[in-house]
Structure 1
Amino acid sequence: MLVFEYKLRVRLLKSFEYVKASEAVSYFLDSALGKEEDFLKLHERREYKYYTMDSFYPCEKDGIYKQGKIYAIRIRTVKQELAEYFSRMLIHHTSGEMEGLTGELRIIPKKQLERVYSLTPVIIKTEKGYWREHMSVPEFEDRIKINLIKKYNQFNHTKIEENFQLYNLIEFKNKVPVKVPYKNITLLGDKINLIASNDPMAQELLYFSLGTGFGENNGRGAGFMNYQYI
């Protein structure tokens, strides 16, 4: 199992605020997936998507991404066929908000991880809303671990032993919930930093998370993780 990263340069066709960035990137990818039947079915199925992406780089100090300016976005996946599809289709693909220019596909090296940390908010959806209003931190930790294990089991058609320590320390980097617009509502998430466990299964899962994201709504840009090796 490998994690593929496609770094794409895009030109914006209109300006918009940073809070709309994830929606714009999601729509750009969705419209590309809709061009071929097999990948349209992937987009429409109610299951894990096995890809995630970050937002535009460089960031804008005034919070406004500028029409005509060129930015980079990273798309990651554990599905090789999807990585190859994105690398083939996104160059010169156009949505109403941006157009693809050039891209570079690479494999993220599988090395010992010291930590992984979220660049976009990690989201856990509950019937009662934002998790901090009715869940403890240990319950939150259980949810993100179970979610990641379920993704891994489904992707690899296996069932791993769950009694292991995924990380040694979790830090919340935000003092207040981070707002994430989604389908005319606002979800609330958190930026987290995880100090990796040396357990082999933990290392495997944390590497896997680089291509799938942590938590939920990964195909909408939530839970995109960066990393640091030992």
Structure 2
Amino acid sequence: MFYELIITVLLKKSTHHLQMLAPIGNWISQAQLTDPLFKQTHYDKTYKHFVFSNLYPTEKDGIYQQGRIYVLTIRSSIEDTLNRIHQCIKKSRESDYFQLVACEQRTRQLGHITELLTITPAIVTIDQRPWVPEDNIELLIQRLHVNAEKKFKSLYPDSQVQEGQPFIQGITIENRKPLATSYKGRKLLGNKLHLFIHEDEYSQKLANVVMGSGLAEKGSSLGAGFCLAKYLK
């Protein structure tokens, strides 16, 4: 189970889609400062357990257009976190880029996940450099598994971590070259990934965490690793 906030906005500045995630993250971050608990934990080096999408619908030329209406989704594995974000967004109805039109909160029940597809690039760093397709694919799978497992332990500290295979059975890279996303004056390289998920219970638990908390790094600050799932019919 995870929780979603569907937000409709009026865009105030035309922006390339790879430069849009940072303004979305900044708007959410600034809005959170209106909540005392979020303000207190703003700089904590802990998992925030939310992730957000880019705007949709997408534009054919990759440029979101000023004056048009778009929708974005914020997800969280924690209901209270999403409730608080919802209230913060309603208080901070406007930023340099967005004007709030409407927002709707809902709960999503998850079935048996067979595949995960990242809608925003997933960011994985190894020894302070980004993983790129020329690197070892097994290392990528390992890092994705370890990150999901750490988020799982953060959410469920009393649960047992299971030794054995990664929750990812197979993986394909959807882009020919890494995608550069703008963040704090620099470019972060990420990749669109298609993951095939093992059927066992523990793998399914990790896949559920990924849906609510994001795949890999920078989910709460940059919306990286926002996924869609395919389910067993």
Structure 1 partner of 2:136: 136
What's the C-alpha RMSD, in Å, of the aligned pairs?
1.6
In the alignment, is the contact (CA less than 8 A) between 1:164 and 1:199 conserved in 2? no
Deviation at 1:194, TM superposition (A): 1.1
The amino acid that maps onto 1:13 is: K
Q: How big is each residue's C-alpha offset from its partner over 1:78-111, in whole Å with a ceiling of 9 and x where there is no partner?
A: 1111111222232361111102221121122121
State the alpha-carbon separation in 2 of the partners of residues 228 and 180 from structure 1: 26
Structure 1 partner of 2:202: 201
The amino acid that maps onto 1:118 is: T
Deviation at 1:19, TM superposition (A): 2.0
Structure 2 partner of 1:60: 59
**TM-score under structure 2 length normalisation:** 0.92
Deviation at 1:135, TM superposition (A): 4.1
- Over 3 Å counting, the alpha-carbon distance change for 1:94 and 1:168 in structure 2 is same
Structure 2 partner of 1:227: 229
Deviation at 1:154, TM superposition (A): 1.5
**TM-score under structure 1 length normalisation:** 0.93
State the alpha-carbon separation in 2 of the partners of residues 133 and 152 from structure 1: 27
Q: Which runs of 5+ in 1 are unaligned?
A: none
User: Matched residues, percent identical?
Assistant: 25
State the alpha-carbon separation in 2 of the partners of residues 134 and 120 from structure 1: 20
Structure 2 partner of 1:180: 181
State the alpha-carbon separation in 2 of the partners of residues 181 and 136 from structure 1: 25
In the alignment, is the contact (CA less than 8 A) between 1:43 and 1:49 conserved in 2? no
Q: Which runs of 5+ in 2 are unaligned?
A: none
Structure 2 partner of 1:120: 120
Structure 1 partner of 2:17: 18
Q: How many pairs were matched up?
A: 229
Structure 2 partner of 1:191: 192
**3-state DSSP class of the match of 1:43?**
coil
The amino acid that maps onto 2:223 is: G
- Over 3 Å counting, the alpha-carbon distance change for 1:134 and 1:70 in structure 2 is closer
Deviation at 1:131, TM superposition (A): 2.0
- Over 3 Å counting, the alpha-carbon distance change for 1:42 and 1:162 in structure 2 is farther
State the alpha-carbon separation in 2 of the partners of residues 102 and 162 from structure 1: 44
Q: Which runs of 4+ in 1 moved over 6 A?
A: none
Q: How big is each residue's C-alpha offset from its partner over 1:102-140, in whole Å with a ceiling of 9 and x where there is no partner?
A: 112112212111211100111112335222388411111
Say which is worse superposed, 69-78 or 37-46, in terms of deviation: 37-46
